[in-house]
Amino acid sequence: MPGASILFAAAIWAHAALAVPVARSAYAVKETHYVPRRWTLKGRAPKHQMLALQIGVKQGDFDALERNLYEISDPDHARYGQHLSHDEVNTLVKPTDEALDAVHEWLLSNGIGEFDYSQAKDWISVKISVEKAEELLATEYSVYVHQDGTEHSRTTEWSLPRHLHDHIDTIQPTTSFMRARTNDVGGERQLKKRDGPWPPADYQPPTDPAIARACSINGTTPECFKTLYKTKGYKQKVAGKNQIGFNNYLAEVPIRPDAALFLQKYEPSAVKGAYEYKFISIDGGPYHDGPSTPTELANGTDKEANLDVQTILGMTYPMPVTAYTTGGEPPQIPDEAAGDPPGNEPYLAWVTYALSQKKPPQVISTSYGDDEQTVPIAYAKRVCSSFAQLGARGVTLLFSSGDHGVGNAAGNDASACISNDGKNTTKFLPSFPASCPYVTTVGATQNFQPETAAYRPADSLGPDGALHAYYASGSGFSDYFPRPSYQDQAVKSYLKKIGSLHKGLYNTHGRGYPDIAAQGLYFQYFWNATNAVISGTSASTPLTAGILALVNDALISSGKPTLGFLNPWLYKKGYKGFTDILSGGNGGCNTTGFPLTEGWDPVTGFGTPIFPEIVKLAGGKC
């Protein structure tokens, strides 16, 4: 079903409908945010540039939504599995009339009468010029240039009338400087070819003959994953009722002819799947049915999207697959008077669309992330609460943990691990949305018997004879989100084991991630009609999504509720269905990162899935 979909319902607010006018009050600063590294100030923003401001109006009762989410996700609660309806969620989060009236009154008194709403009316979107926004928010916008050449109009401080401070959580684009990135480390960063010993000297081949036949260090395949995680032979029973989806950002398009070549070679029974998955385009997200275009090839795009779709189809055919493509960045959408699109980070646009749907897929995989510190905290919190709303609807959201251990994508040295606190404090840099407590975050492993944490030093020889970039499974603790109670015991016990290691470099009270892991090194895949290998938590995340979607098939056909928001169940009993990963490396920020331990650790979480065990623990039959 290709085609652009409507994200917001438009409405003109009738002035007469206003009850009592709200008293005006003086402006006071609502938010300040430092400009992150790698952005430089270029000059004043053009006055007539259009901005699509997203106004996050305070939700009516998010606490009740959260309480509901935890009850229906707790296997010991009477309401376990009783996911909320679309309307129930909207009713809980809809802002109060008082909040909406106050925001409307403010906009109208500034001459802004045309708004778009999210379905719950908790987001109001207005298209206005930079000049108007500067007046509305008592601020000044400037053009900032990222070192990759992208330009955005942003500000470091903005204000609101005092009486609105409690009614509005966030407004963007104002202070957001995030740059979503794919969590894959693949062929594109190969430096040069080198001869050398292959497989690596420390590689131990599997001893189990079935695993040894299916799994090769030279490149992993669906056959390997099915054997290793024991989905092999499972016959889906409710493929139409059960669905899986995955996100595509940054102009990535999953390419059908490449998926067909991949499946022909590695999972021939699924080859029709290459032409059956549906595209849903949000905010002008690109899609097409042909091979990668010359621009896509020149830009090296579609690798991430191909990895995702090929991995999912290889695991889940004939389950229906939805590929969401969300636009906004880069390239910028050329309409709206060359406006600055709201999708400076795409998660909000996507989740707002997903929440507007009556039946989103039950499992959705996302292999993208940002440095948490580049996302303004108020905005990160609102996007994270939107994920909670999808969780309450029974959707399992999986996010990749990142590919740079405790650091960010800028490299494995201390200079890449500098806090955006105005003081340049050296510290570990967590990743968002991986750090959101309402999603399940997936790390990566390598090798087969035993599996170990995915780790590869810089300039490592790969199976293709080329040198590959540094890679360590993303790992850490949020600076924004406190530790949720479901992981209290697991995380406290881990922190006790590591004692004072890395003290001061991470937040001991933050949400720890990842929650689980799966294979993530040297996946076979096709791009530009060519077979190559690619690695990352970008690989482990769609793989895990495929396996959990198969669990849902078994649950639905056993008359049980689907997994929904996984974590409360996972930390209480589901972890028993995962193989604990005990060794392997981590790194980032010129450190050895966090150590692996018995039980949960912030490198591989509870470990890798054992399909029949998970089905059993969730009350289903294979």
The reply to whether 424 sits near ligand NAG by the rule CB under 6 A is yes
Binders of ligand NAG in range 45-104 (CB under 6 A): none
Taking CB under 6 A as the criterion, the residue among 531, 590, 592, 597 binding ligand NAG is: 590
**Residues touching ligand NAG, count (CB under 6 A):** 19
- Contact by Cβ (8 Å): 561, 254: no
Taking CB under 6 A as the criterion, the residue among 271, 414, 495, 582 binding ligand NAG is: 414
Picking from 455, 423, 485, 387, the residue whose alpha carbon sits closest to that of residue 595 is 455
d(CA 491, CA 512): 7
Q: How far apart are CB 297 and ligand NAG at their closest, in Å?
A: 4
d(CA 46, CA 36): 22
Q: Toward ligand NAG, which CB reaches closer, 250 or 442?
A: 250
Question: Does the annotation mark 538 as catalytic?
Answer: yes
Q: How far apart are CB 36 and ligand NAG at their closest, in Å?
A: 10
The reply to whether 373 sits near ligand NAG by the rule CB under 6 A is no
**Binding marks (x or -) toward ligand NAG, 534..573, rule CB under 6 A?**
----------------------------------------
Q: How far apart are CB 529 and ligand NAG at their closest, in Å?
A: 6
Q: Could you tell me the CA-to-CA distances from 334 to 23, 279, 341, 597 in Å, in that order?
A: 40, 21, 9, 50
Q: Which of these segments, 91-99, 409-417, 434-442, 552-560, binds ligand NAG (CB under 6 A)?
A: 409-417
Cβ within 8 Å of residue 44, ≥6 positions away: 140, 141, 142, 143
The reply to whether 330 sits near ligand NAG by the rule CB under 6 A is yes
Residues marked as binding for Ca(2+)? 580-581, 599, 601
Question: Does the annotation mark 25 as catalytic?
Answer: no
Q: How far apart are CB 212 and ligand NAG at their closest, in Å?
A: 8
- Contact by Cβ (8 Å): 44, 140: yes
Q: How far apart are CB 296 and ligand NAG at their closest, in Å?
A: 6
Taking CB under 6 A as the criterion, the residue among 147, 295, 449, 583 binding ligand NAG is: 295
Q: Pick the catalytic residue: 296, 302, 304, 372?
A: 304
Q: What is the DSSP string of 537-591?
A: HHHHHHHHHHHHHHHHHHHHHTT-----S-HHHHHHTGGGGEEPP--B---BTTB
Residues marked as binding? 580-581, 599, 601
In the block, which residue shows the tokens 């996507």? 350
The reply to whether 331 sits near ligand NAG by the rule CB under 6 A is yes
Cα–Cα–Cα angle for 148, 152, 157, nearest 5°? Answer: 125
Q: Could you tell me the CA-to-CA distances from 340 to 151, 158, 569 in Å, in that order?
A: 9, 18, 41
Question: Does the annotation mark 304 as catalytic?
Answer: yes
Three-state DSSP at 455 gives strand
Q: Could you tell me the CA-to-CA distances from 126 to 19, 86, 130, 376 in Å, in that order?
A: 22, 25, 12, 20
Taking CB under 6 A as the criterion, the residue among 30, 33, 37, 132 binding ligand NAG is: 37
- Contact by Cβ (8 Å): 65, 173: no
Three-state DSSP at 210 gives helix
- For ligand NAG, the nearest residue by Cβ is 331
Q: How far apart are CB 563 and ligand NAG at their closest, in Å?
A: 34
Three-state DSSP at 96 gives coil
Q: Toward ligand NAG, which CB reaches closer, 293 or 357?
A: 293
Taking CB under 6 A as the criterion, the residue among 299, 493, 558, 597 binding ligand NAG is: 299
Q: Could you tell me the CA-to-CA distances from 493 to 148, 490, 507, 510, 582 in Å, in that order?
A: 41, 5, 15, 14, 15
Q: Toward ligand NAG, which CB reaches closer, 96 or 150?
A: 150
The reply to whether 413 sits near ligand NAG by the rule CB under 6 A is yes
CB-CB neighbours of 480 under 10 Å? 21
Catalytic residue IDs: 304, 308, 538
Binding site for ligand NAG (CB under 6 A): 37, 198, 216, 218, 251, 295-297, 299, 301, 330-331, 413-415, 423-424, 528, 590
